[in-house]
Structure 1
Amino acid sequence: MSHFIFSIAFLFLSSQPGLIAPGAKLELIAKDFAFTEGPAADRRGNVYFTDQPNDKIWKYSIDGRLSVYMENAGRANGLYFTKDDHLIACADENNQLWRIKSGEVEKLVEHYQDTLLNGPNDVWVAPDGNIYFTDPYYQRDYWTRKEPDLNVQALYLYRKNGKLIQLDSSFKKPNGIIGTPDGKWLYVADIGDNKTYRYAITKNGLLTNKQLFVNQGSDGMTLDNQRNLYLTGNGITIYNNRGEKIEYIAIPAKWTGNLCFGGKEKNLLFITASDKVFTLKMRVKGVN
């Protein structure tokens, strides 16, 4: 893949342009990846994302440069940064959850009660440091096993003390996950059942009050500073805090996998979509 940045811009139509910066265009940053996923922004606004089939984590810097951050990246999928700017990665090559510090890997999780995980997929780090992640089963061509060891596809909590707790095992196939910046609410998509749920997070990090938020699943998701939830798949669909659809953004790709807010002002929507990555300047800003 070429390492330079493409300057092609795509015009798009939007039903309600209030969230998007006036005159903004969808910008194609690069293409010819195998499959892009897992974007996450560090404190400065640099965005990191994965090309899972090619086993790489890439970095898109705030000054517009694209570079490889890590090779042999554990077939990383979903990413998220902790408050101290350590990168949490769903490394499903060996069904692990990683913490990456200055390029050095610390393996946090591989098993649940001595049973191999399905393959951590997407992750969110709460303000208190607790880590929530989804563990669906997607058969990978780089695995030797042909079926899961676990009999459920679940949502997990990894506590700061190293304890792993299974929070909800009622999903068909959990995938996208994001929480609010105050640490009070968690959104989790069941892409296998085409639904997204919202939970209240208790003081001890457990979940309560599970409610159906919208009848739409999602691969990845993010939130903005107006509490709007962004879901991916066939383009980007945006819902307000009441679960009302307020925006749709068409993306010229077979599949829109994930997205996050980055850039110096945290108002640049960074989008991973099949073999491409895009940016779109927004009027709203990210919160995570």
Structure 2
Amino acid sequence: MKKTLLTGILFSTLLLGSNYLHAQIDDKKGIVAKGAELTKVQDGFSFTEGPAINRQGDVFFTDQPNDKIYKWNPNSNQITLFKEGAGRSNGLYFQLDGKLIAAADLNNELWEIDPFTGKEKVLVPSFRSKKLNGPNDIWVRPKGGLYFTDPLYPRPYWEGIRGKESEQDGQHVYFLSADRSELFRVAEDLKQPNGIIGTPDGKTLYVADIGDKKTWKYDIQEDGYLTNKTLFCEMGSDGMTLDDRGNVYLTGKGVTVFNSRGEQIAHIPVPENWTANVTFGALDRRTLFITAMGSVYTLKMKARGVW
């Protein structure tokens, strides 16, 4: 009896295929396109991270352990290699001028990469003459300047004591001014900040404290400082994005979506042990692009991503 039941379940799962996964999507507010199914674009990577969209709708993402940056073309649905020797980049984000900002983990730096030549320039080599923990995720605000998180994740390719202990006095969030003349901390009371995203009007910043399983909301000041720290939801996140309805997308076990009041409205399961990051791709920004372990996925959306 048990064997027959199990066989039936397995057969039904195989028969339904991706429809079986789609049936598990919890979408209370209709943010996913009608009939859309989660699609695996490609696998065979080691650990995908840092998806970032350019003005053409292409998504650049990293395979961090393999030290590479890839590019996904939404028109052809093809993935091509953009850069080898990427400084073990993790998070990525495009500036308005088209330059790609990368959290280059190899030497605990922040890079600027030319999108045509792939040539890099170090923007932030250190803070107060000490190595950063390892810049992780980035958000560039509309008026210029950028925020990045600096958690500590000891890497096997770091040598000596640097691979075990932080040179900084904690794990913080930093702001780099548009003219690159100022670098300062804007949040020093978090346990392990990771995911970060801001609203398109440049007024609000969300920071996920993955170590404390919380996501916080801040008001952004003209000079880059943050005020009015408010608990957004009781969930941390690896990577984050926003849609045009003000919903916030958090990652970890699949993708969990909260409205602007911090209420959960959707959950998108992803058949991997971990979902690292997410963004909206394609020219119309209605394709959710998901990096998860050794694979990348897409899902057609009704909601639209914001620039």
Interval containing the TM-score (normalised by the shorter chain): over 0.9
User: Which of 92, 98, 120 is the equivalent residue of 1:79?
Assistant: 92
Per-residue CA deviations over 1:24-52 (Å, capped at 9, x if unaligned) read: 00000011110000000000100000000
Partner of 1:43: 55
Per-residue CA deviations over 1:98-124 (Å, capped at 9, x if unaligned) read: 011131111000211111100000000
Write the mapping of 1:211-222 to structure 2, written as runs, cut at 5 A: 211-222=230-241
Structure whose residues are more often helix by fraction: 2
Q: Secondary structure at the match of 1:148?
A: coil
Write the mapping of 1:87-98 to structure 2, written as runs, cut at 5 A: 87-98=100-111
User: Which of 145, 159, 165 is the equivalent residue of 2:177?
Assistant: 159
Partner of 1:279: 298
| One-letter code aligned to 2:225 | L
Structure whose residues are more often strand by fraction: 1
Contact 2:53 2:280 in 1 (8 A): yes
Partner of 1:3: none
Per-residue CA deviations over 1:128-149 (Å, capped at 9, x if unaligned) read: 1111000000000010122111
Alpha-carbon offset, residue 14 of structure 1: 2.1
Write the mapping of 1:240-279 to structure 2, written as runs, cut at 5 A: 240-279=259-298
User: Which of 159, 162, 168 is the equivalent residue of 1:150?
Assistant: 168
Alpha-carbon offset, residue 171 of structure 1: 1.1
Rounded Cα–Cα distance in structure 1 between residues aligned with 2:202 and 2:194: 19
Per-residue CA deviations over 1:244-266 (Å, capped at 9, x if unaligned) read: 10001110000000000011211
Rounded Cα–Cα distance in structure 2 between residues aligned with 1:164 and 1:230: 28
Alpha-carbon offset, residue 161 of structure 1: 2.4
Residue ranges of structure 1 left out of the alignment (5+ in a row): 1-7
Alpha-carbon offset, residue 9 of structure 1: 4.5
Contact 1:267 1:284 in 2 (8 A): yes
Per-residue CA deviations over 1:207-261 (Å, capped at 9, x if unaligned) read: 1101010010000000000000000001111000001100011100000000000
Per-residue CA deviations over 1:64-108 (Å, capped at 9, x if unaligned) read: 111000000000000000011110000010000001113111100
Contact 1:77 1:90 in 2 (8 A): yes
Larger Rg: 2
Q: TM-score, normalised by structure 1?
A: 0.96
Partner of 1:131: 146
Partner of 1:29: 41
Per-residue CA deviations over 1:256-287 (Å, capped at 9, x if unaligned) read: 00000011211000000011100000001100
Per-residue CA deviations over 1:154-183 (Å, capped at 9, x if unaligned) read: 000011222111111111110000000000
Alpha-carbon offset, residue 206 of structure 1: 1.3
Sequence identity (%)? 51
Rounded Cα–Cα distance in structure 1 between residues aligned with 2:152 and 2:224: 25
Q: TM-score, normalised by structure 2?
A: 0.90
Q: Which runs of 4+ in 1 moved over 4 A?
A: none
Partner of 1:57: 69
Contact 1:9 1:28 in 2 (8 A): no
